[in-house]
Amino acid sequence: MLIDLHMHEMTYSKDSFLALPRMVEIAREKGLDGICITDHDSMGLKDFAEEYSRKTGFPIFTGIEYYSLQGDIVAFGIEDYPRERIPAQEFINLVKAQGGVCFAAHPFRNNRRGLEEHLCEVTGLDGLEVLNGSTSPAACRKAARYAARLGLRTIGASDCHVPEKVGVCATWFPEEVRTLDEFIKVFQRGGLKPACWSEGQYKILQMREYESPRKVNIA
């Protein structure tokens, strides 16, 4: 399955211009098998997203992009989350205590919202976003090198806020997932691979080639 793991819907992400029906429409047009709503510091869309998923028969998983004191972390499988900023390690611990999974979002984006070198200080992350549709190729490749160094799962996602960005990057899952529980279990087992939308289809990236700035173009 191909799933976009990092997306923002306009109801709770005020910087987004995307409504959920349009997100699903574009995702289906591109051949995605599911999407994830990861609004900024909110899971307010969860009930509506679950209802819309049942109505359309299209998998929609709700997580959160939480802005920790050290940078953004995307998490799934949690019910409780802090309403104030706390250290990254505390948030990761909270996710693990609830049986969830989490990954560092755009760790080297030039807006000071990524974990950057704090990646080497925290423990418990399940993955690292090495392909982000709103981050420079150089910053994404740096993240890929860190993922290899730290032994973290490699994640691709659009981080979309506008229609043209929906599904520009995604993650390939080696098994079908229809429920959040299945999503969490497959994520934990690993084997995920980042993919990018290019010339009308998704291309799964080979990480050894991707880490080289000369071999794979993700612009």
* DSSP symbols for 81-150: --SS---HHHHHHHHHHTT-EEEE-STT-TTS-S-GGGGGT-----EEEEEETTS-HHHHHHHHHHHHHH
Residue 204 lies in a domain: yes
Q: What is the pLDDT of residue 209?
A: 57
> What is the gyration radius of the CA atoms in the chain, in angstroms?
16
Q: What is the pLDDT of residue 174?
A: 97
Nearest residue to 59 (alpha-carbon basis) of 7, 102, 13, 3: 3
pTM for the predicted model, two decimal places: 0.94
Residues 6 or more apart whose CB falls under 8 angstroms from that of 119 comprise: 104, 107, 125, 128, 146, 150
Range of the domain at 147: 2-210
Residue 217 lies in a domain: no
Number of C-beta neighbours around residue 165 at 10 A? 19
Per-10-residue mean pLDDT of the chain, 219 residues long, equals: 98 98 98 98 98 98 98 97 97 98 97 95 98 95 95 97 98 97 97 95 81 46
Structure tokens at 130: 């090495």
Residue 43 lies in a domain: yes
Residue 172 lies in a domain: yes
Residue 46 lies in a domain: yes
Residue 146 lies in a domain: yes
Q: What is the pLDDT of residue 206?
A: 82
Task: Report the alpha-carbon distance of residue 149 to residue 151 in Å, rounded.
Answer: 6
Q: What is the pLDDT of residue 217?
A: 45
Please state the domain count of the chain.
1
CATH number at residue 9: 3.20.20.140
Residue 219 lies in a domain: no
Q: Say if CB 60 and CB 32 are below 8 A apart.
A: no
Residue 28 lies in a domain: yes
Task: Report the alpha-carbon distance of residue 187 to residue 166 in Å, rounded.
Answer: 21
